[in-house]
Structure 1
Amino acid sequence: MLTLLSIKDFAVVKAAELEFGPGLTVISGETGAGKSLLVDALGFLSGLRADSGMVRHGAERAELSAQFDLADTAPARDWLREQELDEGDDCQLRRTLRADGGSKAWINGRPATLAQLAELAGLLVEIHGQHEHQALLSKSSQLALLDGYGGHEAALDDVAAAAAQWSTLLREREALSKQGDVSDRIAYLEHQLGELERESLAPEAIAELGASHRRHAHAAALIAACDAAFARLAGEDAPSMARQLQQSRIDLARVAEHESRLTDVDALLDAAAIQLDEAAALIERIREDLDVDPEQFEEMERRLGRIHDLARKHRVAPEQLAVQQEALAAELESLRGAGKRVAALDGEIESARGRWRTAADALSKARAKAAKALSRSTTSLIGELGMGGGKFEVALEPQNGERPDANGAERVEFLVSANAGQPPRPLRKVASGGELSRISLAIEVAALGGDLVPTMVFDEVDSGIGGAVAEIVGQKLRALGGKRQALCVTHLPQVAAQGHAHYRVSKAASDGVTQSAVERLDAKQRGEELARMLGGVEVSKEARAAAKRLLDNVN
């Protein structure tokens, strides 16, 4: 619901701020005062193309802002969340129009594109009046309104789910079909896998091969070092280290009774002797394992060479060859089963098409029933709104049904005949702005409760009517306001009297410049405004009495 509209330096409005509540809010004023500028401001906040001519003369830019309460507007909340622009249950649309022709837009204080502004505004407000503002001129909006009127949510979900499954299967078959004859690819993969499978490519196996290669490459140096170390430990050419340690322990034991700390030294020397024995045993075992074998070394070199060649060929590190092998094996398995999968897909696609057709047929029947009911109800209301002989039709246009369509098997076109004897024409081709507004009002009233957009704006919906018809228009707008927030720019007192709230737009010259001002009317001011609308510039007692009767007659 729209709660606040702020305008600055827009056309002849220097500054204005309007607060809105639920129900019907009417806006009146003298001809040329700028009543429709409020609708224009909402239009620009809904993404209309920037117009530098709307910037007030002498100002650098016009600033427009609208505040919405989203408590009962789940689609808008969901959209904001998806776009990461959400701010709880409140939403602000802001836009500037520069005198040089540029413009900027913000949603909840963050920069936004006009496309985003238009998409979000479409979930918040519908403007009925000028052709470029008309939400109901869009076929997609017409279809959404019919489905909302008929309560087709469950049927739409079934169609969308069936279409999604059908689309997924079609994409899979298309991807497989693009592969064409895969025999060459299969032969290539088999050859590649054969090369890889001949080697042990597990990372730990490659690491062990590298370590063995290094041992064999340095076998001579390792043997020499082990022999020299063992000779020193074993004492082949001189007293062994173990013998020297034992002698040291004997020498220290003779005097240990005079220094208690020598007991600790003896324990350390004993541990060192044990470790020296273990080290000598390990060196001996290592030496026994070492052997200079040129043939074995050459075989290792060949294996490492093959592994590095494979790594270069597949453009991966040697340690990644096992992963590459698994990937090629998976692709090969997929290609070997592609033919069978294509054959199976044909059957699955046909089944999915059948499920979609069943769901779409059920939706089509529901739409046909709702279309007849909406046509009858709207035609009746058109007559009440001063278009006697007029006729409204909801035409269902079948689609070919050869591709999955989440919206069903038809599109909708709203057709209107404004006068008896005239053939129905698409609503978007109705020339008269006044007729278009009244037809839109009739549709909205007939579909009351089925439209998810919370705020509807009617600009000069009462153009070209008067008397009893004007009173009916006002009553219909008030009824609409009971279900949705409605704003109406009007010049008829019969319509203005039906409002739950009333704003008056006036203009005056200040320093030779015409400016408009907007004022919310209290009960007394409202009576005076209705009297002015009834009697003109000179407000008579009779006009005031008539204005009072209008207000008293409002339910």
Structure 2
Amino acid sequence: MLLRLAIRDVVLIERLDLDFAPGLTVLTGETGAGKSILLDSLGLALGARADSGLVRPGADQAVISAEFALPPGHAVETLLRDQGWQTADTLVLRRIVTKDGRSRAFVDDQSASVGLLAQIGALLMEAHGQHDDRGLLNPAGHRDLLDAFAGHAALLAAVREAHGAHARAAADLAAAEAKLQDARRDEEYLRHVVAELRQLGPEPGEEEKLAAERHLMQEGARAAGDLDEVAGMLAESGGIETRLRAAQRRLERAAGRLGPQLEGVLNALDRAALEAEEAVSALSAARSAIAYDERRLEIVEERLFALRAAARKHHVQPDALAGLAAEMEGRIAALDAGEGRVGVLAAQRDESRRHLVAACAALSRARVEAAARMDEGVNAELDALKLGKAKFRTRVEPLGDGQWTADGADRVTFEVATNPGAPFGALIKIASGGELARFILALKVVLAGAGTAPTMVFDEVDRGIGGAVADAVGDRLARLAGNAQVLVVTHSPQVAARGRQHFRIAKETDGVTTRTEVVTLDKPARREEIARMLSGAEITAAARAAADALLKAAR
């Protein structure tokens, strides 16, 4: 609900502070007094487009602040929380427009975008008038209004649950089909690689073992060559031990002639021959102990090279080949099982589709029934509002399969035909300015709070009517004000008499400067204002008596 409106330097308004009450507030005044300035100012605070022409001549900027009371759990609280803002019981929206056309927006004195201000404004206030292009005139909201009118919350919840389940089932099926398609594209390659790897039969750690064995045999081969060369050297000329023994025998014959002088030499040669025999024997044993098998080396190298070549081909380490083979075998197994899974998921998708169709059908039937009730209610209001020749209808059309949403399978639009036999069309295209406002009023009365903002503004809803019709308009505005705060700009005394709060808007001039002033009227002043509206410039006793009668009837 709008609590306060503060305006500074807007067109003819220099300074204005207004406090608003619940229920029906009426704004009256002579044509051109500035009622539109007041509404434009309120619109600016709620995110309307700014214009430098709104800044009062001689001022640097215009400032408008609007304070609202937030009902508990109002959608604005959710909107602001999603933006990371803290909320309280009241909310102050402020707009500053400079004389060069720039504007700034604030929410509770925190800088905000004009877009956020407009979102908040749309949730806090509905403005209905001759040039209104939002609210009831926007077909995008007609389905929600019909559902709110009929109380379709349970049916909508069922549709949304079924729509979500079907969307998930369809997504699961699409993912499985895409995975299967990818697997089929690689199937020939996978089977070829698995066959190669199965034939190769790699084992974890095998490459390291083979490399170690190959290294050992290569070192053995080099060592065997060295030992064979040494053995050849020792075996030259009959062998070293043979030559040592021959030398020993020759010296033994000479020892008989020379005596003990050669005894030391003979002993040394004997020891050398024995050591040589041991050396040759040890060399032979060492050569025999070397594990070198040329054929085995070839086998090991072929296997090692095959493992490393396969690893390079598949861009993995040799030890990962066994895991790669297992992975590819798993993908082939998944491919083989994929057809079955796709079949199961397709069945689940079809079942979820049946549930969705049933839920949407139930909601559609309820909408058609509710549309008939709404049409009956709105058409019943039209005669009293001087629209008796017009007809209103709520059109419920089925959407194509691809257009279904979580809100169902229908498009809902409000249409009117202003004369018998005339074609139905959209409200905004068919109805004239005054008719449009009264159609909206009839709709709002029937909707009785469904999708209604806490504050509603009607701009000259009584244009071109009077007498009983104006009284009917006032009655319906008062009924609306029982569920929401209603502000109405009116030229009708019958409407003005219904107000719980009354503002008079007038131009004041001192001969130099013209200003728009707004005065809150007490009971006597209200009587005079309604009498003026009845009689014109000269207020007569009859006009005052008629004003008294209107005020008494409105109580």
> Is the shorter-chain TM-score for this pair beyond 0.5, marking a shared fold?
yes
Number of aligned positions between the proteins: 466
1:365-386: per-residue Cα shift (whole Å, max 9, x none)?
1111111111111112111011
Query: 2:502 is paired with a residue of what secondary structure?
Result: strand
Pairwise CA distance, 1:405 = 1.0
Query: 1:468 maps to what in 2?
Result: 468
- How has the CA–CA distance of structure 1 residues 351 and 524 changed in structure 2, closer, same or farther, with 3 Å as cutoff? same
- How has the CA–CA distance of structure 1 residues 329 and 405 changed in structure 2, closer, same or farther, with 3 Å as cutoff? farther
1:274-327: per-residue Cα shift (whole Å, max 9, x none)?
xxxxxxxxxxxxxxxxxxxxx9xxxxxx9xxx9xx99x968xxxxxxxx99999
Query: 2:448 maps to what in 1?
Result: 448
Query: 1:389 maps to what in 2?
Result: 389
Q: Distance in 2 between matches of 1:8 and 1:331?
A: 73
Query: 1:226 maps to what in 2?
Result: none
- How has the CA–CA distance of structure 1 residues 33 and 183 changed in structure 2, closer, same or farther, with 3 Å as cutoff? same
Query: 2:524 maps to what in 1?
Result: 524
Query: 2:135 maps to what in 1?
Result: 135
Q: Distance in 1 between matches of 2:183 and 2:115?
A: 44
- How has the CA–CA distance of structure 1 residues 462 and 329 changed in structure 2, closer, same or farther, with 3 Å as cutoff? farther
Q: Give the letter for the 2:384 counterpart.
A: E
Pairwise CA distance, 1:152 = 0.8
Question: Is the contact made by 2:418 and 2:431 (CA closer than 8 Å) also made in structure 1?
Answer: no
Question: Is the contact made by 2:527 and 2:544 (CA closer than 8 Å) also made in structure 1?
Answer: yes
| Displaced runs of 4 or more, over 6 A | 186-192, 197-201, 323-336
Query: 1:84 is paired with a residue of what secondary structure?
Result: coil
1:15-46: per-residue Cα shift (whole Å, max 9, x none)?
22222222111111111011123322333344
Query: 1:161 maps to what in 2?
Result: 161
Question: Is the contact made by 1:77 and 1:89 (CA closer than 8 Å) also made in structure 2?
Answer: no
Pairwise CA distance, 1:438 = 0.7
Counterpart mapping for 1:460-499 below 5 A? 460-499=460-499
Pairwise CA distance, 1:170 = 2.6
Q: Give the letter for the 1:166 counterpart.
A: H
Q: Distance in 2 between matches of 1:33 and 1:111?
A: 33
Q: Distance in 2 between matches of 1:31 and 1:342?
A: 72
- How has the CA–CA distance of structure 1 residues 326 and 537 changed in structure 2, closer, same or farther, with 3 Å as cutoff? farther
Query: 2:535 maps to what in 1?
Result: 535
Give RMSD over aligned pairs.
4.1
Tell me whether 1:78 sits opposite 2:96 in the alignment. Answer: no
Query: 1:370 maps to what in 2?
Result: 370
Query: 2:217 maps to what in 1?
Result: none
Give ranges in structure 1 of 5+ residues lacking alignment.
Answer: 202-208, 214-294, 296-301, 315-322
Query: 1:508 maps to what in 2?
Result: 508
1:382-429: per-residue Cα shift (whole Å, max 9, x none)?
110112212111111211134541121111111112233432221121
Give ranges in structure 2 of 5+ residues lacking alignment.
Answer: 213-296, 298-303, 317-322
Q: Distance in 2 between matches of 1:384 and 1:37?
A: 31
Q: Give the letter for the 1:97 counterpart.
A: V
Q: Distance in 2 between matches of 1:343 and 1:531?
A: 80
Pairwise CA distance, 1:123 = 1.9
Question: Is the contact made by 1:166 and 1:404 (CA closer than 8 Å) also made in structure 2?
Answer: no
Query: 1:416 maps to what in 2?
Result: 416
Pairwise CA distance, 1:543 = 1.7
Tell me whether 1:107 sits opposite 2:107 in the alignment. Answer: yes
Q: Give the letter for the 1:127 counterpart.
A: A
Q: Distance in 2 between matches of 1:329 and 1:524?
A: 95
Query: 2:182 maps to what in 1?
Result: 181
Q: Distance in 2 between matches of 1:12 and 1:327?
A: 80
Q: Distance in 1 between matches of 2:511 and 2:163?
A: 65
Query: 2:182 is paired with a residue of what secondary structure?
Result: coil
1:187-234: per-residue Cα shift (whole Å, max 9, x none)?
878979x89x97879xxxxxxx9xxx9xxxxxxxxxxxxxxxxxxxxx
Q: Distance in 2 between matches of 1:553 and 1:330?
A: 86
Query: 2:269 maps to what in 1?
Result: none
Q: Distance in 2 between matches of 1:341 and 1:509?
A: 84
Q: Distance in 2 between matches of 1:504 and 1:188?
A: 86
Counterpart mapping for 1:137-152 below 5 A? 137-152=137-152
1:33-89: per-residue Cα shift (whole Å, max 9, x none)?
111233223333443333332222233332222222222453222222222223133
Counterpart mapping for 1:160-239 below 5 A? 160-178=160-178, 180-183=181-184, 185=186
Query: 1:486 is paired with a residue of what secondary structure?
Result: strand
Q: Give the letter for the 1:181 counterpart.
A: D
1:146-175: per-residue Cα shift (whole Å, max 9, x none)?
111111111111111211222223333344
Query: 1:29 maps to what in 2?
Result: 29
- How has the CA–CA distance of structure 1 residues 344 and 9 changed in structure 2, closer, same or farther, with 3 Å as cutoff? farther
Question: Is the contact made by 1:53 and 1:99 (CA closer than 8 Å) also made in structure 2?
Answer: yes
Q: Distance in 1 between matches of 2:502 and 2:14?
A: 21
Query: 1:36 is paired with a residue of what secondary structure?
Result: helix
- How has the CA–CA distance of structure 1 residues 336 and 133 changed in structure 2, closer, same or farther, with 3 Å as cutoff? same
Counterpart mapping for 1:319-338 below 5 A? 338=338
- How has the CA–CA distance of structure 1 residues 389 and 188 changed in structure 2, closer, same or farther, with 3 Å as cutoff? same
**Which piece of structure 1 moves more, 407-416 or 123-132?**
123-132
- How has the CA–CA distance of structure 1 residues 484 and 334 changed in structure 2, closer, same or farther, with 3 Å as cutoff? farther
Query: 2:355 maps to what in 1?
Result: 355
Pairwise CA distance, 1:546 = 1.5
Return the index of the structure with the highest Cα Rg. 2
Pairwise CA distance, 1:538 = 2.0
Query: 1:423 is paired with a residue of what secondary structure?
Result: coil
- How has the CA–CA distance of structure 1 residues 83 and 326 changed in structure 2, closer, same or farther, with 3 Å as cutoff? farther
Query: 1:42 maps to what in 2?
Result: 42
- How has the CA–CA distance of structure 1 residues 498 and 128 changed in structure 2, closer, same or farther, with 3 Å as cutoff? same
- How has the CA–CA distance of structure 1 residues 333 and 8 changed in structure 2, closer, same or farther, with 3 Å as cutoff? farther
Question: Is the contact made by 2:534 and 2:543 (CA closer than 8 Å) also made in structure 1?
Answer: yes
1:165-186: per-residue Cα shift (whole Å, max 9, x none)?
2222333334444553324557
Query: 1:53 maps to what in 2?
Result: 53
Query: 1:10 maps to what in 2?
Result: 10
Query: 1:122 maps to what in 2?
Result: 122
Tell me whether 1:98 sits opposite 2:98 in the alignment. Answer: yes
- How has the CA–CA distance of structure 1 residues 532 and 189 changed in structure 2, closer, same or farther, with 3 Å as cutoff? farther
Question: Is the contact made by 2:8 and 2:63 (CA closer than 8 Å) also made in structure 1?
Answer: yes
- How has the CA–CA distance of structure 1 residues 313 and 2 changed in structure 2, closer, same or farther, with 3 Å as cutoff? farther
Query: 2:438 maps to what in 1?
Result: 438
Q: Distance in 2 between matches of 1:488 and 1:189?
A: 76
Q: Distance in 2 between matches of 1:198 and 1:505?
A: 95
Q: Distance in 1 between matches of 2:140 and 2:35?
A: 30
- How has the CA–CA distance of structure 1 residues 133 and 424 changed in structure 2, closer, same or farther, with 3 Å as cutoff? closer
Q: Distance in 2 between matches of 1:433 and 1:454?
A: 24
Pairwise CA distance, 1:445 = 0.4
Question: Is the contact made by 1:186 and 1:336 (CA closer than 8 Å) also made in structure 2?
Answer: no
Q: Distance in 2 between matches of 1:327 and 1:41?
A: 70
Query: 1:413 is paired with a residue of what secondary structure?
Result: strand
